[in-house]
Amino acid sequence: MSKELSPLEVAKQSVDPYAGEAVFARLSRATVEDITPEEDIVMRWHGLYRQRPAEAGLFTLRVRLPNGVLTTEQATVLAGIAARMCGGRLDVTTRQSIEVHGLPLAALEGVFHELRAAGLTTLGACGDTVRGMVACPAAGLDPDETLDTRPVVESLTAAFVGNREFGNLPRKLKVAVCGCARHCVPVEINDVGLEAARNEEGTLGFALFVGGGLSASPTLAQPVGWIAQDQAVPVVKAIAAIFREHGNRSNRARARMKHLLGEWGIDRFRAELESRLGWAPRVIPGMALHAGSGRDHLGVLPQKDAGRRLVGVPVAAGLLTADQFLLLAKLAAEHGQGELRTTLYQNILLPDIAEPAVDTVLAALAENGLPVSESRWAGHTIVCTGREFCNKAMAETKKPAIRLLDALEEALPGRPARLRISGCPNGCGQHALGEIGLQGSGVKGEAGLEERFDVWVRETSPDGAPSFGRRVMSRVRPEEVLAVVREQVARF
Ligand code: HEM
Ligand code: SF4
């Protein structure tokens, strides 16, 4: 294998990826054809990626939200940007970000000014760096939680956001932190996973896992050992440094952490980590990986504060209108504590809703197209961006998914399966984790590539052992997907 740096790696060496201000000032008067490879890098590291179709010259903006937390004011700013840029559509993503589509170059300076004033950042939301950490959105509120992960996520975020030491990794590094009793965080598919766990003395810290990932070669993370809570930042920094120095920089397809683990084996990785830390995470016999349960916080749920409730709002395909987002923000301000949270399943959690106001909140949501119930199909479905905006897509996903969800809600009310839809094998919609997964594929037709879907199924294990689904059908026509999903549901 050639060890020559890929052209992108060469460009990355000469760029300060976080020097956005000068770049956005220049680009505000430029056209997309003028963007240099170096500026392209700066844009990505600022959470911007090019949308399909390329001719439109528009960008998607991804905002980083640690713990999925945002305030009423921040939600209002994002709704305003979405209203101006793309007819008021906001996408909630599986990494608890909010995405807004349709930004022209001329808008960037102003939008970044607005985001900064609202205390929002996009740094490291895309690009080859430590991405936004995912963590349970009910952290600090759920009476059953194992650990409130907000402090550690905040420390990790502070350690990595805009940190040039980790600004040029071979590829993205995804970190997940789970302290949730229902295991809503799929630590097993992240490059670095921290799962709240007790050591033999009963001290609450984290079981550390590395090297998980999806895409065309789904790989489960491997256990490294137990670490204390205050060791999380130095440990994740050491892992990011190992990845920075040893990840593959000649072939992007082999650059993720899981490939390094595959090459090295877990023992060499442990030894390398120990040599950097000066100590080793303690190996606890039988420390097993608990998989993400795929269960979101939905419906009206108890909170530690007995006078308040969590309201988990299903969002079909993660799509909200600006008006719906403003309503959620207003309800959070009037009946909660002015905070809302994004979940890992593209839904929204309203925390701190005063118990007497719950019915008012539910009625307002239902009137505005957001009926709240644990058993709606919308809450259990993940759908990637797909052909509408993604250059890699083989199939359109979001709009067909909404139609599919409406049909399933009517045909099989109250019996939702965990449905995961990706527009191509990259698997951003986590099709390999669905009870039923749909993955965009295609066949050559007279008019070019015709969209099809491969169907995956997975039996989840009651003891939480991690697994991936398997492909059971290939190249199903889009109009046949509903019937196929119904058939598969009937098998459960
Ligand atoms: C321009 C192309 C791409 C776009 C627009 C894109 C977009 C996204 C988005 C928005 C998410 C969050 C999922 C969601 O809620 O929609 C995501 C997650 C993910 N992406 Fe991509 N992606 C792209 C390319 C890729 C590629 C090339 C790979 C793999 C080689 C990849 C692998 C993944 C995986 C595995 C996840 C899920 C992991 C998780 O949720 O932790 N993506 N992507
Ligand atoms: S799964 Fe494929 S189509 Fe969907 S967002 Fe990822 S790269 Fe694009």
Position of tokens 């009476």? 143
User: Other CB atoms closer than 10 Å to residue 340's CB: what's the count?
Assistant: 28
Say how far apart CA 385 and CA 407 lie, in whole Å.
21
Classify 278 as helix, strand or coil.
Answer: coil
Cis peptide before 53 (omega within 30 of 0): yes
- For residue 392 and ligand 2, the question of a CB distance below 6 A is answered with yes
Each residue's pLDDT tens digit in the chain (492 positions)?
457 898 899 999 999 999 999 999 999 999 999 999 999 999 999 999 999 999 999 999 999 999 999 999 999 999 999 999 999 999 999 999 999 999 999 999 999 999 999 999 999 999 999 999 999 999 999 999 999 999 999 999 999 999 999 999 999 999 999 999 999 999 999 999 999 999 999 999 999 999 999 988 899 999 999 999 999 999 999 999 999 999 999 999 999 999 999 999 999 999 999 999 999 999 988 888 888 888 999 999 999 999 999 999 999 999 999 999 999 999 999 999 999 999 999 999 999 999 999 999 999 999 999 999 999 999 999 999 999 999 999 999 999 999 999 999 999 999 999 999 999 999 999 999 999 999 999 999 888 889 999 999 998 777 778 899 999 999 999 999 999 999 999 887
Say how far apart CA 31 and CA 39 lie, in whole Å.
12
What are the strands, taking DSSP E only, across 458-492?
470-476
Integer distance in angstroms from the first to the last C-alpha of the chain?
46
User: Other CB atoms closer than 10 Å to residue 411's CB: what's the count?
Assistant: 14
Assess contact for 48 and 126: CB atoms under 8 A: yes
Of all protein residues, whose CA lies closest to atom 19 belonging to ligand 1? 428
Kindly list the protein residues whose Cβ atom lies closer than 6 A to any atom of ligand 1. Answer: 49, 93-95, 174, 189, 214-215, 318, 346, 384-385, 390-392, 426-428, 430
Assess contact for 377 and 419: CB atoms under 8 A: yes
Phi, psi (deg, nearest 5) at residue 181: -65, -25
- Centre of ligand 1 to C-alpha 300, Å, is 30
Strand order in the sheet with 308-313: 69-71, 339-342, 348-354, 308-313, 299-302
| Whole-Å CA distances, 170 to 8, 10, 45, 166 | 10, 11, 13, 10
Say how far apart CA 474 and CA 226 lie, in whole Å.
41
- Centre of ligand 2 to C-alpha 420, Å, is 12
- At residue 293, the pLDDT reads 83
Of all protein residues, whose CA lies closest to atom 2 belonging to ligand 2? 424
Say how far apart CA 490 and CA 266 lie, in whole Å.
41
- Centre of ligand 1 to C-alpha 426, Å, is 7
- Centre of ligand 2 to C-alpha 218, Å, is 15
All structural domains of the chain:
7-117 (3.90.480.20), 146-179+187-277 (3.30.413.10), 299-374 (3.30.70.3340), 380-491 (3.30.413.10)
The four Cα atoms 240, 244, 249, 254 give a dihedral, to 10 degrees, of -20
Adjacent-strand bridge partners of 222: 210
Atom of ligand 1 nearest to the CA of 62: 10
ipTM of this model? 0.90
Classify 315 as helix, strand or coil.
Answer: coil
What are the strands, taking DSSP E only, across 32-97?
48-50, 59-63, 69-71, 89-92
- At residue 459, the pLDDT reads 85
- Centre of ligand 1 to C-alpha 33, Å, is 25
Bridge pairing between strands 436-445 and 419-422: parallel
- Centre of ligand 1 to C-alpha 385, Å, is 8
- For residue 441 and ligand 2, the question of a CB distance below 6 A is answered with no
- For residue 422 and ligand 2, the question of a CB distance below 6 A is answered with yes
Radius of gyration of the chain (CA): 22
